[in-house]
Amino acid sequence: MQRTMSDSPDLAHAGRARTAAEPARVDAAFAQHREDPLARFLNLLALARSEPRQLEPTAMSLATVGDDGRPSSRIVLLKDADARGLTFFTNLDSHKGRELRAHPDAALLFHWQALELQIRFEGRATQVPDAEADAYFATRPRASQLGAWASAQSHELSSREALMQALQDATQRFQGQDVPRPPRWGGFRLVPALIEFWRADPARLHQREEYRREAIDARWTMRLLNP
């Protein structure tokens, strides 16, 4: 029997638990570094990482687009952030890796529920140099390094057993030595052209502040947006 909306949980009026961090503390951090959105983001990221109730503060939604114009998104982990942009690593032949190399325009979104904050980025992703990818790969746990060799990420898998066999093969191949970075594994850095800061309001009159710049070396301009 086909389910209808009336059979589903009452999501429209579900509400949400108020478990946010101390509002005054978040408001104070939200107001800092307004002249530099990247510095502002790094300050808020530090706050998110210090909040015990905020799980995975470096988790971010990455949205890409394919040749057919259809978008796709997934969660990845931020591994570096500075004035150059935001960096993450992946299999270059994965779904997102292929899309980013063909269509570098992408978007990132952080949602920190415990702080009642969202920060959104739009920009172009460029592949990081091999030396930078090598340096990060060397810091990964050995099991993760071996997994990178075993998995042809996003490609069809015949069976779980086949994946475990590939992992065993990689384990034997690199037994007694450092695991090098696979050629198909690397990183991307999103260089933002747009950054939006969102602060929740109980009456849904959320604070939204959007920054834009026309070029990497251009000045940021900020405007307020209606919630």
Specify whether 189 is catalytic: no
Residues 6+ apart with CB under 8 A from 161: none
Q: How many CB atoms lie within 10 A of CB 139?
A: 9
Measuring CA to CA, which residue among 61, 41, 154 is closest to residue 106?
Answer: 61
Number of helices (H), then strands (E), belonging to the chain: the values are 6, 9
Spatial contact of 195 and 121, defined as CB atoms under 8 Å apart = yes
Catalytic residue among 204, 212, 219, 223: 204
Task: Taking the CA atoms of 143, 155, 91 and 94 in sequence, report the sign of the dihedral they define.
Answer: negative
Residue type, 14: A
Catalytic residue list: 204
